[in-house]
Structure 1
Amino acid sequence: MQLKPLKGQHHVSAITAKAKENYTFYTKTLGMRLVKKTVNQDDTSMYHLFYADERGNPGTDLTFFEIPHAGQTYQGTNSITKTSLRVPSDEALQYWLKRFDEFGIEHDGVSHHTGRATLAFRDFEGQRLELVSDENNEGVASGIPWKESPVPEAYAIRGLGPVTLTVSRPELTEKILIDVMGYREKGSYPSLVEGQPDVKVFETGEGGTGAEVHLETRKDIGRERPGRGSVHHVAFRVESKEELEKWVDYITNIGLPNSGFVERYYFRSLYFREPNGILFELATDGPGFEGDEPFETLGESLALPPYLEPQRETIEKNLKPLDTAQS
């Protein structure tokens, strides 16, 4: 079966305990656009919020499930330990340093340990994030910043950068990335933790910041216990529904337990876990977020796919109101 290479990151989905504060941080502080306010289709009692570029182009979405009673995250292995966000230049990182100080955001200094200028920071729940400069980047194109963002376009976040996986048995994840998903090893850089192996870099498709997975090995800590401020899963881009159906057949035929084809309305999906237990999703580039809302008012109302619309009254009763109107 001939499969096209995966195109890079599609979205990253994380956990928050506070949707209102989450909305404020990612739109007002980070300047991303809320392109969809909907619900977790597997548990409609919780919000699912999508922050992205101007229209939620594939590869730009950082999403959150609201779980109000989510406990503390105990950081460890077999988890997604860092989500990076692309900015256009090294100069942009200087803007963000000042902005983080102004808003009281916990952050590190600018670093070049990945070969690119980066700036690690945490949100109000300890979500592990990093800005990465695209100044010398070649590869997958970035998204387009929203013109109504409080952050100037010259410094704005333009999509997802590399995602870091931290595992205890790297050879198992490597095998999935290379032999199953078609990634290629690009290089490595020293671990930030003394005495631990180098972090390996894998890329797919056109490569570049939007198509890299960084694989970190840790033998000195236990398994992560997820909660608020942790990442639930990472999704990778597939061109079309037809291509995704080929991936469903392929993943099933090689014996990997998986979800099968899943209709999410805004895109179509396939879920499976790699051997260290990290949840991977393959998701189609379309249809996108404008099938049920116009571009001008994306994210302002509660959007439900057609198959959940008959339950709207019940769903709305179970959600705490979240005002996301722009005017």
Structure 2
Amino acid sequence: MKSLKGIHHVSALTANAQDNLHFYTEILGMRLVKKTVNQDDTSVYHLFYADERGNPGTDLTFFEIPHAAKNREGTQSISQTALRVSSDETLNYWLERFVEYNVDNSGIQERYGRKVIDFKDFEDQRLQLISDETNSGVEGGIPWEKSPVPQEKGIIGLGPVRLSVPRPEKTHKVLTDVLGFQQHTTYQLNGDEVTVFSTGKGGTGAEVHVHATKDMPRERPGRGSVHHVAFRVESEEELLKWVTHIQSLGYMNSGFVERYYFRSLYFREPNGILFELATDGPGFEGDEPFEKLGENLALPPYFEDQREEIEAKLKPLETK
């Protein structure tokens, strides 16, 4: 099998799709490239925010679960999602913007040799802006020119994803022996060790940081938590090879799953983190033209005969 190419997308939970839409499009300036439904529960939204056309490696997605309880942070979790920006200087722009919009943040810090800002959204989703100043790995995307954030300051994709786990050696083994990641150096975070892994071309768009937690209760997911992280597979042909590989190792898994915008495989590693392998294509323009991405409710063809019923259950979203 070919190496995984990097981070494909991260999917998180929100209790309020309208407020979520406001934060990620109006404050963070990402483009809503697909407004659809959770294919496992069509009564709720699945929103995709990304670069100008939802290129693989740029998608941060949210399942809406109305009335979801607040996330109780802890171990056995995807505990931070990074978003890439072009340079160290760009972080100064974001500090000013976060002050303007009262976004809770850490200020500019240095972590693993890069400038970062840790911050949270309105539901305490744990996020980070990371500078690509020194990045030489996976290329970023192109921010949407109609964003309220100037294009040269915009978010260009997903950065490293941090996993917090009580038995780090088990996650390390899955990343290296099963998924083919390479292990790099470590750094300290609040007195704990974090080990860095990368795949494909490496760099900010292809890293997983495994945080070895101590004496921490298990996370109780709710609004503000992350559901899963997906890694990039080049093609459907390659994905089928991965399905065979994962099944041969005895992992409980979903098998091949048709998501229309991409094809997927899901499985859990021993610390309970849900991993997805997802193909780079077909992408988001099969049912909407580039200029209209995200403007209307998009449904895969196998749900079209249920459109009237599905739309009746959804609260309309107000978009600018």
With structure 2 as the length reference, what TM-score do the two structures score?
Answer: 0.99
Identity over aligned pairs, percent: 68
Tell me the residue number matched to 1:281.
276
Quote the residue 1:95 is aligned against.
93
Residues 238-277 of structure 1, C-alpha deviations (whole Å, 9 max, x = no match): 0000000000011001111100000000000000000000
SS in 2 for 1:25: helix
3-state DSSP class of the match of 1:110? strand
Shift of 1:114: 1.9
Match of 1:321 among 309, 316, 320: 316
Gaps of 5+ in 2: none
Partner of 2:129: 131
State the distance in 2 between where 1:303 and 1:201 align: 37
Gaps of 5+ in 1: none
Tell me which amino acid in the other structure corresponds to 1:259: S
The AA in structure 1 aligned to 2:149 is V
Looking at structure 2, the residues matched to 189 and 169 of structure 1 have their Cα atoms a distance apart, in angstroms, of 17
The equivalent residue for 1:44 is 42
Q: Return the offset for 1:113.
A: 2.0
| Alignment partner, residue 166 of structure 2 | 168
TM-score by length of 1: 0.97
Partner of 2:303: 308
Residues 1:23 and 2:11 are matched in the alignment: no
Matches within 5 A, 1:9-158: 9-158=7-156
Give the distance between the partners of 1:175 and 1:72, measured in 2 at CA. 32
Number of matched pairs:
320
The CA deviation at 1:154 is 1.7
TM-align CA RMSD = 0.7
Deviations 1:166-185 (CA, angstroms, capped at 9, x unpaired): 00000110110000000011
Query: What amino acid does structure 1 have at the position aligned with 2:62?
Result: F
SS for the counterpart of 1:301 is: coil
Deviations 1:133-177 (CA, angstroms, capped at 9, x unpaired)? 001100100001100011112211000000000000001101100
Task: Give the counterpart letter for 2:106 in structure 1.
Answer: D
Structure 2 Cα separation of the partners of residues 135 and 151 of structure 1:
19
Aligned mates of 2:245, 2:183 — CA distance in 1: 22
